[in-house]
Amino acid sequence: DFAEGNIHHKALLISVTVCSVLLVLIIIFFYFRYKRQETRPRYSIGLEQEETFIPPGESLKDLIEQSQSSGSGSGLPLLVRK
């Protein structure tokens, strides 16, 4: 009985140790992942940015006309229901 109890205690000690080490490794992994995201610059479009998405010399109307006149399925439909 003593030998069997000793084996159970060793197995319990080993499993608790392995689980504790895995838990610590997971916590460290998520900590460094959080820190890396914290230092990464955030991309947000704010009022202070001077970027425009319309190329110089073109207007929004020109871009809309280009998107409607090119590509598959663009233009007026051939069959119109009355």
Q: Identify the pLDDT of residue 61.
A: 77
In a domain, 18, yes or no: yes
- Domain residues for the domain of 2 are 1-39
In a domain, 81, yes or no: no
Q: Identify the pLDDT of residue 27.
A: 98
Residues of the chain with pLDDT under 70: 1-4, 42-55, 63, 67-82
Q: Identify the pLDDT of residue 18.
A: 98
Q: How far apart are CA 52 and CA 61, in angstroms?
A: 15
In a domain, 16, yes or no: yes
Q: What's the total number of domains in the chain?
A: 1
Q: Identify the pLDDT of residue 72.
A: 61
CB 63, CB 54: distance < 8 Å: yes
In a domain, 29, yes or no: yes
In a domain, 25, yes or no: yes
